[in-house]
């Protein structure tokens, strides 16, 4: 249902309470999401972004009940990923000649995905679109935040930044604003979004925020394309992003492992005890990556100073769940994290060395030679694991 959020702007998006996976099966969305679309009505009428294609028909029906579709003068596409452009085909079927404002890369993405030659108007940073009543939309390109086509739009007068994915969260809620939802849930989802999607682009995040802050523009609201609108102290999320973009870490170590017959699990737990004993101020979390949500685990990696990865040896290698999380961490290119490997084996024992190499490939600093253990740890093995953890804890505390 449309919600008026200012004199000029109405939210016309879709709250997706059911969504549990996003980007295909890649990203878990335990709290659903929303696809935020905005209708701007001054002397001109502008539709800003749409929703994911499965909701095309209900979205356009609700939009047509809110506004005469023929009165829409411009469409703005800040980002062409299908969760925001998915309903365009249905929209443009109704208003085929209406100009679409987007970046040049946005044109390429939309032509590639929809094979339509709509009335594209490519824009660059600083280009403006006057919508009457003394209001302008100012476009700001934001390439690789997180696609090449991404841009943001700033509405003068109303002082609203339409930031698209940046500052968003996969969070379905009845409350449309940051001051109407649970703050812990909100920040958990905002951080998970940053950790899993924006981490590789942290340098660009810092630069873009500095660029925006440097303009010294008034700011009443940040309207992202997922989750709640930042209305109460909107700069708080930009400040959080600035912190997160600087190789963020908390006093935490995460131990990610998978285990066949519990030997590697027991190693993980004794190592954790050793770390805690040497560094009581560190939070230590053990996650069986074969049983844990991958994206939640990545959020824990994001928060950690050090990442320990363990696996049993199988078929002269390591377990497939460990391979998956290593590949995820490689792609996200975390910076300034320490690491170590461990694992149990029965005869050949290749996993630890291979994990160590993979951790190096993730850009982590491997701070200890890996710890291999034959069969189940006995009392001496438990002591070795504990001491291994102590040594890691001491180096992190020091």
Per-residue x/- track, 90-129, ligand FEO (CB under 6 A): ----------------------------------------
In our burial notation (b when 16+ CB lie closer than 10 A, e otherwise), range 89-121 reads bbbbeebeebebbbbebbbbbbeeebeeebebe
For ligand FEO, the closer of residues 18 and 117 by Cβ is 18
* 3-class state of residue 336 by DSSP: coil
Q: Active site includes 57?
A: no
Backbone angles phi, psi at 320, to 5 degrees: -65, -30
**How many C-beta atoms lie closer than 10 Å to residue 231's C-beta?**
18
Which position among 16, 49, 73, 81 is part of the footprint of ligand FEO (CB under 6 A)? Answer: 81
Per-residue x/- track, 171-210, ligand FEO (CB under 6 A): ----------------------------------------
Q: Which stretch binds ligand FEO (CB under 6 A): 38-46, 63-71, 75-83, 99-107?
A: 75-83
Q: Active site includes 121?
A: no
d(CA 183, CA 227): 13
Q: Active site includes 127?
A: no
For ligand FEO, the closer of residues 49 and 390 by Cβ is 49
> Is residue 83 a contact residue for ligand FEO (CB under 6 A)?
yes
In angstroms, what is the minimal distance from the CB of 83 to ligand FEO? 4
For ligand FEO, the closer of residues 201 and 257 by Cβ is 201
Backbone angles phi, psi at 388, to 5 degrees: -60, -45
Q: Are 35 and 13 in contact (CB under 8 A)?
A: yes
In angstroms, what is the minimal distance from the CB of 162 to ligand FEO? 13
Q: Active site includes 30?
A: no
In angstroms, what is the minimal distance from the CB of 98 to ligand FEO? 22
Which position among 84, 208, 266, 337 is part of the footprint of ligand FEO (CB under 6 A)? Answer: 84
Q: Which residues pair with 374 in a beta bridge?
A: 345
d(CA 382, CA 245): 38
Q: Which stretch binds ligand FEO (CB under 6 A): 4-12, 76-84, 242-250, 387-395?
A: 76-84
Eight-state DSSP code of residue 322: H
Q: How many residues bind ligand FEO (CB under 6 A)?
A: 9
Q: Which stretch binds ligand FEO (CB under 6 A): 79-87, 131-139, 289-297, 372-380?
A: 79-87
For ligand FEO, the closer of residues 85 and 178 by Cβ is 85
DSSP symbols for 40-96: EESSSEEEE----GGGHHHHHHHHHHHS-GGG--EEE-S--SHHHHTTHHHHHHHST
Q: Are 120 and 92 in contact (CB under 8 A)?
A: no
Question: At which residue do the structure tokens 């249902």 appear?
Answer: 1
> Is residue 16 a contact residue for ligand FEO (CB under 6 A)?
no
d(CA 272, CA 390): 9
What are the CA-CA distances from residue 75 to residues 28, 105, 142, 148, 276 (Å)?
30, 16, 18, 19, 55
Which position among 79, 170, 192, 303 is part of the footprint of ligand FEO (CB under 6 A)? Answer: 79
| 151-155 and 160-164 beta bridge pairing | antiparallel
Phi-psi region of 24 (alpha: psi -120 to 50; beta: other; left: phi over 0): left
Residue whose C-alpha is closest to residue 35's, from 51, 55, 22, 53: 51
Which position among 6, 199, 225, 391 is part of the footprint of ligand FEO (CB under 6 A)? Answer: 225
Q: Are 175 and 229 in contact (CB under 8 A)?
A: no
For ligand FEO, the closer of residues 41 and 208 by Cβ is 208
Q: Active site includes 158?
A: no
Catalytic entry in 16, 73, 81, 158:
81
Q: Are 182 and 159 in contact (CB under 8 A)?
A: no
Catalytic entry in 226, 257, 269, 300:
226
> Is residue 226 a contact residue for ligand FEO (CB under 6 A)?
yes
Q: Active site includes 257?
A: no
In angstroms, what is the minimal distance from the CB of 138 to ligand FEO? 21
Q: Active site includes 226?
A: yes
Residue whose C-alpha is closest to residue 383's, from 278, 267, 228: 267
Q: Which stretch binds ligand FEO (CB under 6 A): 77-85, 250-258, 363-371, 384-392?
A: 77-85
Catalytic entry in 35, 193, 241, 388:
193
In angstroms, what is the minimal distance from the CB of 33 to ligand FEO? 8
Could you give the residue numbers annotated as active site? 23, 79, 81, 83, 146, 165, 193, 226
Where on the chain is the footprint of ligand FEO (CB under 6 A)?
79, 81, 83-84, 146-147, 165, 225-226
């Amino acid at each position: 249902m449309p919600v008026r959020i200012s004199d000029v702007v109405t939210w016309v998006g879709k709250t997706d309470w059911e969504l549990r996976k996003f980007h295909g099966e890649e990203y878990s969305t335990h709290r659903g999401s929303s696809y935020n679309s905005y209708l701007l009505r001054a002397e001109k009428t502008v539709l800003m972004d749409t929703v994911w294609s499965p909701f095309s028909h209900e979205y356009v029906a609700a939009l047509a009940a809110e506004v005469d579709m023929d009165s829409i003068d411009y469409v703005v596409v800040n980002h062409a990923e299908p969760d925001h452009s998915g309903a365009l085909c249905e929209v443009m079927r109704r208003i085929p000649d209406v100009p679409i404002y987007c970046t040049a890369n946005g044109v390429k993405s939309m032509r590639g995905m929809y094979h339509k030659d709509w009335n594209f108007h490519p824009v660059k940073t600083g280009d403006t679109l006057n919508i009457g009543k003394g209001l302008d939309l100012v476009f700001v390109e934001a390439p690789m935040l997180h696609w090449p086509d991404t841009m943001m739009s700033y509405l003068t007068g109303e002082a609203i930044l339409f930031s698209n994915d940046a500052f968003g969260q996969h969070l379905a809620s009845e409350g449309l604003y940051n001051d109407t939802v649970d703050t812990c849930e909100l920040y958990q989802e905002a951080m998970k979004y940053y950790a899993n999607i924006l981490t590789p682009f942290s340098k660009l995040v810092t630069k873009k925020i500095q660029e925006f802050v440097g303009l010294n523009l008034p700011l009443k609201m940040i309207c992202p394309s997922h989750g709640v609108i930042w209305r109460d102290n909107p700069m708080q999320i930009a400040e959080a992003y600035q912190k997160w973009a600087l190789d963020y870490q908390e006093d935490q170590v995460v131990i990610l492992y998978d285990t066949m017959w519990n030997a590697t699990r027991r190693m993980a737990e004794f190592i954790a005890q050793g770390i805690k004993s040497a560094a009581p101020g560190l939070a230590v979390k053990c996650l069986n990556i074969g049983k844990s949500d991958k994206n939640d685990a990545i959020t824990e990696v994001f928060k950690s100073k050090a990442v320990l990865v363990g696996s049993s040896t199988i078929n002269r290698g390591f377990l497939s769940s460990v391979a998956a999380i290593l590949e995820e961490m490689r792609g996200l290119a975390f910076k300034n994290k320490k690491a170590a490997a461990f694992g149990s084996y029965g005869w050949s024992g290749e996993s630890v060395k291979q994990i160590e190499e993979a951790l190096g490939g993730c850009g982590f600093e491997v701070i200890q030679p890996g710890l291999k253990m034959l069969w189940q740890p006995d009392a001496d093995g438990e002591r070795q694991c504990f001491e291994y953890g102590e040594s890691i804890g001491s180096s992190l505390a020091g």
